[in-house]
Amino acid sequence: MLIGAQTWEFRSKPAIVGAATVVGPEEGGGPLGGTFDFVYDNLEIDEKTWEKAERKLLEHASALALVNAGIAREELSCFVGGDLMNQIISATFAARTIAAPYLGVFGACSTSMEGLALAALITDSGAGRYVMAGTASHNCTAEKQFRYPTEYGSQKPGTAQYTITGSGCAVVSSQGRGPRITHATIGRIQDLGVKDPFNMGAAMAPAAADTLVSHFRDTGRGPEDYDLIVTGDLASVGHAIVKDILAKDGVPMDKTEFNDCGLMIYDRGKQPFVMAGGSGCGCSAVVAYGSILQKLKNKELGRVLVVATGALLSPLSYQQGESIPCIAHAVALEKEESES
Amino acid sequence: MLIGAQTWEFRSKPAIVGAATVVGPEEGGGPLGGTFDFVYDNLEIDEKTWEKAERKLLEHASALALVNAGIAREELSCFVGGDLMNQIISATFAARTIAAPYLGVFGACSTSMEGLALAALITDSGAGRYVMAGTASHNCTAEKQFRYPTEYGSQKPGTAQYTITGSGCAVVSSQGRGPRITHATIGRIQDLGVKDPFNMGAAMAPAAADTLVSHFRDTGRGPEDYDLIVTGDLASVGHAIVKDILAKDGVPMDKTEFNDCGLMIYDRGKQPFVMAGGSGCGCSAVVAYGSILQKLKNKELGRVLVVATGALLSPLSYQQGESIPCIAHAVALEKEESES
């Protein structure tokens, strides 16, 4: 049910009954490498095109998520998927393989939490028994589509981010065991006029701040009510900005651990090619469904807020001189035996 | 709540409390011309680029839908939007103007009913008071992106369809008056291997048939329970095929009026440039939220099933030799004072 202006509270607190993450070699070599279900040793993911590689990541993660949830794909009431590709072809072709009723969504890198919020709503409202949310990104499909084919070897400024190669899927159900989904705050577009696609962290930071402030307002919670709050993929530039904005808004984030999936997934010292940090649809998905979910399961974390951020530009909108509209969707997760 | 394998039944039967349609000159000159809220007299929609034109259609229709619903945009709990553009920029930029919490969706030409189904679910489950679903397409943005810029004057086969220029938006609420949304059947991907983007009707027909058969199975209804069943945009080739498939499946469609939005929107005799008929995200939206909604309001129709079809290809997937995955989502509508 709606609480406040833009937050959904889920009565049944749907559980993530199974999830899986599959990544490429660079993510596997990063600090969270040990938390992923499968690490490919080649960026081609054993495929002939980058697009087929991205699709394979999603097909692989979705198959593993079903195994981890202990259900057959015929038991899925719905697959909610999306990705960064034009016409979200990775999700669509994966949905062909998954063969469940399919809802395609697009929120750029916020797709992970948009999908998880909808999956929770569908199962919470009784419109689905098991609903899977999933997304994927691949460094080379994103570079090719949004910037330049990697073969060009073009240079980038230090504010640029590195699209992660990976896919994360989660199976949600109102019945069953696992970390719980308690709330989702649906974001509104924020656009402060940033036009530089090599500085998406700065473009997205106001959206993350707006959704965080809205979440706290709607739920009556504050940063101190969470053991961990992570933004999706603001990376070093955007994450510093969102902290500044929140401090000015009177929401000091020093009372909790406040991090960013794009900063957590790589070691920028040892992996300097990631520039400001990670990004992409898969970024918040593989961090949330990997490391964070594991810490919720083993009770290392009690309550986590994942604020996935999305820069909703297209190469064409950029070329026509438009600014970058951004959005952020937040999902609140709890360890299983929480009192509240 | 879920009934059968893939149908949502809405307990509150959310009402479409207001809707609006805005189209271009060719749609305004077609047989449904008098049913639209606004007809532009120029294909440029008074804008400098085709993409800005498409966005303007959606901004215009969404503003009119709010007026027709009698609500301010601040009262919207959510806007569920999508379109055919890469990264659904028309919906996103319109969402910036609408300024409500925003969920981006993509189902190609099935986006209209995917959005309406989600809007109904959100309000039926109490997660939103007023939720708007909307989509748009423009002939020249689609031609430019999926085929060739219209300036090339390239020839097409007779199976090709003509993307309509227009936008339709509907405001849904569990409180309030208007035609009711009773069910939504979420489609599964169907892909029989058609690879020809100039014959999307043939590619999409099996998806329409699968969703229709699933809807009848899940609800226990048959074609005779509807006064009108319309497919989204199969046009002449695809609509003939879906009738064949259904006849072979033992679902004869001669017990009800069975039509197609892509056939209804143009007069193919007087408008031969539309080839097999209309298509595009806006096609089923402007027919459903225009003519059909008006006939439900004045009780000319009692119960209607809109089966919006989508061809989920991208130019890149086509160029890589992939077939065209297709989907169809069905939404059942009723006049206000229905007993059932």
Closest to A112 (Cα-Cα) out of A299, A260, A306, A271 = A306
Task: Note whether A328 contacts B: Cβ–Cβ < 8 A.
Answer: no
Contact A101 B49 (CB under 8 A): no
**Longest CA span, chain A:** 54
pLDDT at B282: 98
Å between B222 CA and nearest CA of chain A: 21
Q: Are A207 and A109 in contact (CB under 8 A)?
A: no
CA geometry: angle at A292 spanning A286 and A295, to 5°? 140
**Is B117 a domain residue?**
yes
CB A205 within 8 A of CB A249: no
Q: A171-199, pLDDT tens digit by residue?
A: 999 989 999 999 999 999 999 999 998 99
* Contact in structure between A140 and A280 (CB atoms under 8 Å): no
- Closest-CA distance, A110 to chain B, in angstroms, reads 10
Closest residue to B317, CB basis, from A89, A95, A188: A89
For residue A327, list chain B residues with Cβ-Cβ distance below 8 A. 102
Of the candidates A283, A191, A281, which has an alpha carbon nearest to the alpha carbon of residue A235?
Answer: A283
Sign of torsion, CA A1 A330 B72 B43?
negative
Instruction: State the DSSP code for A158.
Output: T
Paired tokens of B311? 């061809």
Touching A: B residues 177-196, CB under 8 Å: 186-189, 191
- Please check whether residue B224 lies inside any domain of the structure: yes
Contact A105 B101 (CB under 8 A): no
Are A139 and A40 within 8 A, CB to CB?
no
Residue that terminates a domain, selected from B117, B149, B173: B173
ipTM: 0.97
Helices assigned H by DSSP within chain A? 25-28, 50-69, 89-98, 111-124, 139-146, 200-219, 235-248, 261-264, 281-287, 293-297, 315-319
E strands, chain B, are 2-3, 7-9, 15-23, 38-39, 76-83, 102-104, 130-137, 162-163, 166-173, 180-185, 228-231, 257-260, 278-279, 303-311, 326-334
pLDDT at position A98 is 97
Yes or no, beta carbons of A325 and B104 under 8 Å apart: no
| Whole-number pLDDT of residue A306 | 98
B223 and B101 assigned to the same domain: no
Provide the mean pLDDT of chain B. 96
Q: In this structure, what token pair is assigned to residue A271?
A: 């992996």
Same domain, A108 and A8: yes
pLDDT at A147: 85
Whether B338 has a pLDDT exceeding 70, the answer reads no
The C-alpha atoms of residue B242 and residue B230 are separated, in whole angstroms, by 11
Are the C-beta atoms of residues A88 and B88 closer than 8 Å to each other? no
Cβ(B76)–Cβ(B130) below 8 Å: yes
Asked whether residue B149 carries a pLDDT value surpassing 90, the answer given is no
Based on the domain organization, do B69 and B216 belong to the same domain? no
Q: Are residues B114 and B214 in the same domain?
A: no
Residues B34 and B93 in one domain: yes
Q: Cβ contacts of residue A13 below 8 Å, gap of 6+?
A: A180, A181, A182, A334
Domain membership of residue A207 (yes or no) is yes
pLDDT value of position A30: 98
pLDDT tens-digit map of B89-100: 999 999 999 999
Based on the fold, state whether residues B163 and B286 are members of the same structural domain: no
Q: A40 pairs with which residues across the strands?
A: none
Q: Which residue among B146, B173, B200 closes a domain?
A: B173
> B95-104 burial by CB neighbour count: b if 16+ within 10 A, else e?
bbbbebbbbb
Question: B16 near B170, Cβ under 8 Å?
Answer: yes
Q: Count the domains in chain A.
A: 2
pLDDT over threshold 70, residue B303 = yes
B194 pLDDT more than 50: yes
Helix, strand or coil, per DSSP, at residue A171:
strand
Residue (of A127, A130, A101, A184) closest to B78 by Cα position: A184
- B109 and B83 belong to one structural domain: yes
Average pLDDT over residues A56-83: 98
B188/A102 Cβ within 8 A: yes
Q: What DSSP string describes A250-296?
A: T--GGGSEEEEHHHHSS-TTT-GGGTT-EESHHHHHHHIIIIIHHHH
Tens-digit pLDDT profile for residues A299-339:
999 999 999 999 999 999 999 999 999 999 999 999 987 54
Query: Does a structural domain hold residue A256?
Result: yes
pLDDT band per the 50, 70, 90 thresholds, residue B339: very low
Distance (Å) from the alpha carbon of A35 to chain B's nearest alpha carbon: 30
Tell me what pLDDT residue B154 has.
85
Q: Do the Cβ atoms of B108 and A88 come within 8 Å?
A: no
Q: How far is residue B86's CA from residue A270's CA, in Å, rounded to a whole number?
A: 35
pLDDT tens per residue, range B169-178: 999 999 899 9
Helix axes B235-248, B200-219, angle to 10 degrees: 40
Q: Is B209 on the interface with A (CB under 8 A)?
A: no
Q: Of the residues A138, A173, A208, which one is the last residue of a structural domain?
A: A173
Give the integer Cα–Cα distance in Å for B259 and A336.
50
Alpha carbon distance A171, A76 (integer Å): 9
Helix (H) or strand (E) holding A182: strand A180-185
pTM for this prediction: 0.98
Name the packing angle between helices B50-69 and B89-98 (round to 10°). 40
Amino acid at B48: K
* Percent of chain B residues past pLDDT 90, beyond the cut: 94
Structure tokens at B34: 């008098």
CB of A70 within 8 Å of any CB in chain B? no
Q: With respect to residue A340, please indicate whether it lies within any of the assigned structural domains.
A: no
Q: Is A82 exposed, middle or buried (0-12, 13-18, 19+ CB in 10 A)?
A: buried
Q: Is the same domain home to A27 and A169?
A: yes
Same domain (yes/no): B228, B144: no
Closest CA to A120 of A217, A17, A6, A229: A17
Does residue B298 carry a pLDDT above 70? yes
Question: pLDDT per residue over A79-100, tens digit each?
Answer: 999 999 999 999 999 999 999 9
Domain that holds residue B196: 180-334
Which residue is closest to B122 within chain A, CA to CA? A121
Per the listing, tokens 């119960």 go with: B303
Residue B193 has pLDDT above 50, yes or no: yes
What are the pLDDT digits (tens) for A12-40? 999 999 999 999 999 999 999 999 999 99
Q: What angle do CA A317, A320, A322 make, to 5 degrees?
A: 60
- Rg of chain B over all Cα atoms, to the nearest angstrom: 18
Confidence of residue A72 (pLDDT cuts 50, 70, 90): very high
CATH of the domain at A34: 3.40.47.40
User: How many percent of chain A have pLDDT more than 70?
Assistant: 99
Residues B98 and B199 in one domain: no
Q: Do B122 and A127 touch (CB under 8 A)?
A: no
Contact check, Cβ <8 Å, B191/A316: no
Q: Which residue has the tokens 């909808």?
A: A118
User: What local confidence, expressed as pLDDT, does residue B151 receive?
Assistant: 83
Q: Which of B118, B153, B138 is nearest to B308 (CA)?
A: B118
Whole-number CA gyration radius for chain A: 18
CB B16 within 8 A of CB B127: no
A192 is a domain residue? yes
Contacts of A339 (CB under 8 A, 6+ apart): none
Same domain, yes or no: B68 and B48: yes
In a domain, B339, yes or no: no
Phi-psi region of A183 (alpha: psi -120 to 50; beta: other; left: phi over 0): beta
pLDDT of B248 higher than 50? yes
- pLDDT tens for each residue of A138-152: 999 999 999 887 888
Nearest to A331 by CA among A300, A298, A308: A308
- Rounded to whole angstroms, the Cα distance separating A103 from A33 reads 30
For residue range A99-122, what is the model confidence (pLDDT) as tens digits?
A: 999 999 999 999 999 999 999 999
Tell me the C-alpha distance between A22 and A83, whole Å. Answer: 15
Per-residue pLDDT, averaged over B224-233, amounts to 97
Residue B340 confidence (pLDDT) above 50: no
Q: What residues of A are in contact with residue B77 (Cβ under 8 Å)?
A: 2, 5-6
Count Cβ neighbours within 10 Å for each residue of B28-65 and write b for 16 or more, e otherwise: bebebbebbbebbeeeebebebbbbbbbbbbbbbbbbb
Q: What CA–CA distance (Å, rounded) separates B288 from B295?
A: 10
DSSP B153-198: -----TT--EE--EEEEEEEESSS-SSEEEEEE--B-B------TT
State whether B69 and B166 are in the same domain.
yes
Does A216 score more than 80 pLDDT? yes
Q: Is residue A8 part of a domain?
A: yes
Confidence of residue B78 (pLDDT cuts 50, 70, 90): very high
